[in-house]
Amino acid sequence: MKKLSLYIVINLMMLSSIAFAGSYIVAESNGDFNSIQSALQAAVAGDTILVREKSEPYYEKITFPNNGDQTNGYIVLMNYPNENPIIDGANYQAGNDDPQGLVRIVNKNYIKIIGFEIRNIVVSNNSIFPAGIWVYGSSSNIEITKNKIHTIQQTANNAGSHGLAVYGTHPTNPISNILIDGNEIYNCKLGWSESLVLNGNVDNFVVKNNSVHDNNNIAYDFIGHEKVCPTPALDQARNGIVFNNIAYNIDSRGNQAYGDEASADGFYVDGGKDIIIERNTVYNCNIGIEIASEHGGKSTSGIIVRNNLVRENIVLGIAFGGYDSKRGSTDNCKIINNTLYKNNTENFDWGAEILVQYYCENNLVANNIVYSNSNIPMVDNSTKTGSDNLFSNNLYYTEGTAKWNWKSNTYTDFDSYKSNSSQEENSLFGDPLLVDPTLDNPAIQQGSNAVDNGNIFSENLNGDLDYFGNNRINNDFIDIGAVESSDVTGIESFGQIMKNDFELKPAFPNPFNPTTTIKFKISPNSFKRYFELNIYDILGRNVKSETFNSNVDEITYKWNAENMNSGVYYAVVSSDNEFMTNKLILLK
């Protein structure tokens, strides 16, 4: 386990920790404060505010007045362990100050928001632009994790709202080092705006493990060129990674800003640059993933869309380029190793699996599985604009009539499409033998044409991990599609797989004092029966080790940290070369 321990030490040193310089409790009674805002007024760098659940919600507008800092730590606003504090906008009154919302971070640094339910701004007023959470101006080192944001609704005809918004407005200093992790956003009416958005001068961000669903406009959006930042060269969300998120049930039809138009994306890069979108799941949205620029003469560039499952969306699977001739371009972007499955479920006449729109330059579409319904275009490239775009090493299949639209022609024969388009070198037509993408399992079975027929461009481009988090490149080969078959054991025999041979469940309670239960479930298909549990402190020191040799399907271990100090710990369960990690927070 020497190699594993070194890995943990290196990574724990990179992770941020919760400081425990001071701790306040907000509660209905017997707390330090009875309102969240009062506690925030008192908090300084390194302080943690624990908010207890009340008999009724906190009807407050929250603004962070103070900064954390690198030396003393974050200001942490979080739920009390195992409780669900609610910030409710039922009595919301818009002020004259921007931005307008329930929780606001404006020009502040080193802030964490963890574990709240934020809900109920319902307005119909063109002059109000609310959000559940706003990060605004020039801020840095902001973490927004494990919050539930819902029922943020703007119903005026010429207005919008957001569930969670990050707007970099400063002409030189970006909003930087942003983590948005494990949040849920749903039941929002957004007008002409988006569920989760990063816009303007935003640099260096991670958006992961979020669930956005059942809203009437775009789920995730990364925007540039809207003059949110007055410096054009900095007015782009950039240098980000978006992974392991899910988007579903996103439909703009009935939205007052769109009427009957079905145009809401699950994942949308509109003018952003240098962003990786990987290992996400998107289904039942109007459009699965789109990379474009809505502003003429401006571009979206340097986007990598890889290892995603894009299934059963209403109109389009993946689109790139401006949506009409007045829009901007998509340049130097890569769409590789995705699995697209039966998109255009409602048979729109402009629907397709992959849509090439206006002004696409120097883009790559490779190593994708494209599995369409009968007579649905697998590729539609009809604009006669753009140049130097390359399609290669893709695997196409339909159970019915195949269809490709290229320039002015429609092809129903794969060989004719290849020869007339002068594209698709090393691409194939055949059944990829998917396990069951409708259950979010796009693995391929043995004998699939996808096995080892992808192209390795570079590790930076292809990525380290496939959709399931296993090695993307195996023995110098790569498969077509989102999943690498070499890391899938026994599909032919068992018919289904887990992402790993074991699954580490969230520890409960967490945060905790002094005991928490660590539980992991072993796949019935696994032959592994020897497991190690190691618990490390924030400096990577091993504070607890246990071994298990068991034939049961689930192992439970209760850790008593009575003699440990408050802080962050990491529970690591490992077997052979596989391991999974849980972050534990001990509050005393």
pLDDT at 577: 57
Which of 395, 426, 444 finishes a domain?
444
Do 345 and 207 belong to one domain?
yes
Do 248 and 321 belong to one domain?
yes
CATH of the domain at 430: 2.160.20
**Res 96 pLDDT > 80:** no
Asked if 369 and 481 count as a contact pair (C-beta separation under 8 A), the reply is yes
β pairing state of 515-522 and 554-560: antiparallel
Do 120 and 256 belong to one domain?
yes
Tell me the three state secondary structure of residue 471: strand
Asked if 314 and 251 count as a contact pair (C-beta separation under 8 A), the reply is yes
Do 405 and 506 belong to one domain?
no
pLDDT bracket for residue 576 (50, 70, 90): low
**Is 564 inside any structural domain?**
yes
Tell me the three state secondary structure of residue 486: helix
Which one-letter amino acid corresponds to residue 357? Q
Asked if 248 and 285 count as a contact pair (C-beta separation under 8 A), the reply is yes
Do 438 and 521 belong to one domain?
no
Asked if 289 and 216 count as a contact pair (C-beta separation under 8 A), the reply is no
pLDDT bracket for residue 11 (50, 70, 90): very low
Among candidates 183, 241, 248, 240, which has minimal Cα distance to 209?
A: 183
Give residue-wise pLDDT tens across range 221-256.
999 999 999 999 999 999 999 999 999 999 999 999
Other Cβ atoms less than 10 A from the Cβ of 539: the count is: 10
Which one-letter amino acid corresponds to residue 264? A
Do 328 and 412 belong to one domain?
yes
Do 300 and 373 belong to one domain?
yes
pLDDT at 510: 83
**Is 389 inside any structural domain?**
yes
Give residue-wise pLDDT tens across range 297-316.
999 999 999 999 999 999 99
**Is 551 inside any structural domain?**
yes
**Is 474 inside any structural domain?**
no
User: CA 17 to CA 241: how far, in whole Å?
Assistant: 21
Which of 396, 418, 444 finishes a domain?
444
Give residue-wise pLDDT tens across range 327-373.
999 999 999 999 999 999 999 999 999 999 999 999 999 999 999 99
Which one-letter amino acid corresponds to residue 575? S
Which of 406, 422, 444 finishes a domain?
444
How is 369-429 classified by DSSP, letter by letter?
EEEE-TT--SEEE-S---B--EEES-EEEESS---EEETTEEESSHHHHHHHHT--BT-EE
Q: What is the total count of domains within the chain? A: 2
**Is 470 inside any structural domain?**
no
pLDDT bracket for residue 3 (50, 70, 90): very low
Domain residue limits at 520 = 502-586
CATH of the domain at 566: 2.60.40.1930
Specify which of 396-400, 515-519, 540-544 reaches the highest per-range mean pLDDT.
396-400
Residue with the larger pLDDT of the pair 115 and 531: 115
> Percent of the chain at pLDDT above 90?
74
Do 405 and 550 belong to one domain?
no
User: CA 200 to CA 168: how far, in whole Å?
Assistant: 5
Two tokens, residue 93: 């009154």
**Is 458 inside any structural domain?**
no
**Is 485 inside any structural domain?**
no
**Is 397 inside any structural domain?**
yes
Do 382 and 244 belong to one domain?
yes
Give residue-wise pLDDT tens across range 432-483.
999 999 888 899 998 999 999 999 999 899 999 999 999 999 889 999 999 9
Other Cβ atoms less than 10 A from the Cβ of 200: the count is: 28
How much is the mean pLDDT over the chain? 90
Contacts of 420 (CB under 8 A, 6+ apart): 406, 409, 411
Do 361 and 274 belong to one domain?
yes
Do 413 and 506 belong to one domain?
no
pLDDT at 145: 97
CA 400 to chain centre: 33
Give residue-wise pLDDT tens across range 114-153.
999 999 999 999 989 999 999 999 999 999 999 999 999 9
Two tokens, residue 500: 């790993």
Give residue-wise pLDDT tens across range 47-79.
999 999 999 999 999 999 999 999 999 999 999
Do 68 and 154 belong to one domain?
yes
Residue with the larger pLDDT of the pair 586 and 146: 146
